[in-house]
Amino acid sequence: MFDALQAPPEGVTHAEALLDSLDACFLNGFARLGDAEAASLASLAKTFTGTPLAAPVAAAAEALAAGDYGITHFEALAAARGSLQGAIHDALVQQVRAALGRAAPEAAPAAAPAEPFPPQMAPLLESTQQWLMELALAGFGQLDYGTVVPFAATLEKLQAEPELTRLSVLLTGTLGEIAAALPIEDAAALPLSRWVDLWSRAMLGTLGAPASPGGEAFSGNVRILGAALNTHANAVSVTAWGVVEGDTPRMVRVSRTAWKVDQVFDAATWQALGDGDDPLMRAIGERRILRVSDATLLPSGDLVLEGAKVGESMAAFSWSEAAPAAAVGEALPGPVAAPADRHPVQIAEPVYLSELEATSARKGDQTVTVGGGSLPVAVDRMGYRGAHLNAALSNAACAFGLLRYDGGAWSFQPLALQTNIKGNKTVDFYNGDDAMASIKSAGSSNLGILRERASKILRAQS
């Protein structure tokens, strides 16, 4: 099965080469485009001939090469980049679903036009676009404090707008990462395509809120097979992957995102996400069934608990009985990226692997093997429990996790393992087994200290 995932499908490499030549413009800066970069832009424009983006991308290529810098041209580049990433995403999803013996997802509906943000937010969004344009003009290789740091004032205001959470979480992580890289000593060492990703995503995020995806009312029981944590210095996001029982079991994602500070990290991030009575935290941390009524299930397979009645059952469920619903060959209708979010980084095909062989040799070198084919373990995505997982992996008999794609290659991100040591089977829920202990100590933790200060000092200021 993994044999079919040793290389990306045809066409992906070509599209990635187009992205690379666009990214080179971002490294040098649009204010200093050379002939090679101008030619890259022209060739990008040619690729879009006959598509709805043809006119804006052609106009952008011509204007930017001529030194005419308007925000709309940078919006067009972000849209072009997003569209290429979307096409790569679709090709890769087809490849991975075929490899798992699953039907290709129905053709994604075209992304509905974004809904405009409320007019009072316009100044904030314009100032964000202005900053993004300045970064692009200067070029990532030439960034300095004067270009990067003043945006912090705008960002603080963005963070206060709950409607802009997706944008502000992204920009906060981006600003922090770029600021930490200053002064830039070696431009060639920058994570260039990542930074252009973040830039493009932010630019598209300023254009409007993703159109309301609709969704259906949902009531049912969710058995969470594993959870993933994503963090930067100022935010943490948990995504729990659960099976919903029924005639055809389906998979849903339940997520939550919280703000935090840099000194809340590793296990302490759970404290920011919820308290000890929180059903989602207990469902993840104690492996209880999550009982949900009146939630909304989005077409992307994301279950939104806002406004829902949520509880957890007293009894823990059997992971080893629930997890095979995600086995290779099971149809498993499940989460896909929303149309506007399609990007290879978002590919997360859930799978349960039985009869797994894992090697845990050197750090960063682990592979998992199923039926002869091997994939590397996505060590970069495993967060602070990565070391723990690596130790457990060599004793793993089966695992639940996500097939991921990045840097031209597929990998496996384990979320839970069942180890078998001398006939003693244990489920290792690697993100979450430590959650409840951490949450219980929240009061005396750094987060507790800061919450107490915040309640007194911020009140005194206002």
Partner 1 sequence: MSDSRTSIHVTDSAIVKRNLRSVPYVEIFGDRLMGVVSSKSDFRRMYISFVEAGTTSYNCSTNNNRPCGGLRGGPCKHIKSLLDEAVKQYGGERVARSLQLAGDPASIKRGADVLRHISGGKHQEKASAAFTRFLNYLRYVELPTSTAPTPEMTWFVNG
Q: Which of 22, 60, 273, 283 binds partner 1 (CB under 8 A)?
A: 273
Query: Under 8 Å CB-to-CB from 298, ≥6 apart: which residues?
Result: 213, 214, 215, 304, 338
Residue span binding partner 1 (CB under 8 A) among the ranges 63-71, 115-123, 218-226, 227-235:
227-235
CA 411 to chain centre: 15
265 in contact with partner 1 (CB under 8 A): yes
Measured CA to CA, the distance from residue 76 to residue 54 in angstroms comes to: 10
The arrangement of strands across the sheet holding 396-406 comes to 349-353, 396-406, 409-421, 424-428
Q: Which of 6, 263, 318, 426 binds partner 1 (CB under 8 A)?
A: 263
Q: What is the DSSP string of 412-437?
A: EEEEEEEEEETTEEEEE-TTTTTHHH
121 in contact with partner 1 (CB under 8 A): no
Nearest distance from residue 19's CB to partner 1, in Å? 9
Nearest residue to 180 via CA among 131, 237, 233? 233
Residues 358-397 that bind partner 1 (CB under 8 A): 380-384
Nearest residue to 402 via CA among 361, 346, 340, 450? 346
235 in contact with partner 1 (CB under 8 A): yes
Q: Tell me, residue by residue from 21 to 40, as one string, x for binding to partner 1 by CB under 8 A and - for no binding.
A: --x-----------------
Measured CA to CA, the distance from residue 1 to residue 96 in angstroms comes to: 9
Q: Which of 125, 323, 337, 439 binds partner 1 (CB under 8 A)?
A: 337
Residues 156-185 that bind partner 1 (CB under 8 A): 156, 159-160, 162, 165-167, 169-170, 173, 176-177, 179-180, 183
126 in contact with partner 1 (CB under 8 A): no
Q: Which of 20, 115, 294, 365 binds partner 1 (CB under 8 A)?
A: 20
Q: Which of 286, 357, 406, 434 binds partner 1 (CB under 8 A)?
A: 406
Do residues 68 and 189 touch, judged by C-beta distance below 8 A? no
454 in contact with partner 1 (CB under 8 A): yes
Measured from the Cβ of residue 454, the count of other Cβ atoms closer than 10 Å reads 10
Do residues 91 and 9 touch, judged by C-beta distance below 8 A? yes
Helix (H, G, I), strand (E, B) or coil at 233: coil
Q: Which of 158, 222, 272, 368 binds partner 1 (CB under 8 A)?
A: 272
Q: Which of 231, 360, 418, 438 binds partner 1 (CB under 8 A)?
A: 231
Nearest distance from residue 67's CB to partner 1, in Å? 27
Q: Which of 134, 197, 349, 428 binds partner 1 (CB under 8 A)?
A: 197
Q: Which of 34, 109, 408, 443 binds partner 1 (CB under 8 A)?
A: 408
Residue span binding partner 1 (CB under 8 A) among the ranges 45-53, 101-109, 125-133, 338-346:
338-346
Buried b (16+ CB within 10 A) or exposed e, 418-446: bbeeeeeeebbbbbbbbbeebbeebeebb
Q: Which is nearer to partner 1, 302 or 312 (CB)?
A: 302
Measured CA to CA, the distance from residue 312 to residue 288 in angstroms comes to: 6
Q: Which of 81, 250, 253, 287 binds partner 1 (CB under 8 A)?
A: 253
Q: Which is nearer to partner 1, 98 or 190 (CB)?
A: 190
Q: Which is nearer to partner 1, 176 or 208 (CB)?
A: 176
341 in contact with partner 1 (CB under 8 A): yes
Residues 285-324 that bind partner 1 (CB under 8 A): 298, 300, 302, 304-306
Nearest distance from residue 431's CB to partner 1, in Å? 12
189 in contact with partner 1 (CB under 8 A): yes
Query: Residue 201 corresponds to which tokens in the numbers above?
Result: 């995503």
277 in contact with partner 1 (CB under 8 A): no
Residue span binding partner 1 (CB under 8 A) among the ranges 40-48, 196-204, 240-248, 314-322:
196-204
One-letter amino acid at 268 equals: A
Helix (H, G, I), strand (E, B) or coil at 206: coil
259 in contact with partner 1 (CB under 8 A): yes
Measured CA to CA, the distance from residue 47 to residue 58 in angstroms comes to: 10
Nearest distance from residue 189's CB to partner 1, in Å? 5
Residue 447 to residues 100, 264, 444, Cα–Cα distance (Å): 43, 6, 8
Nearest residue to 413 via CA among 365, 457, 379, 436? 379
Nearest residue to 269 via CA among 296, 235, 297, 239? 235
Q: Which is nearer to partner 1, 73 or 404 (CB)?
A: 404
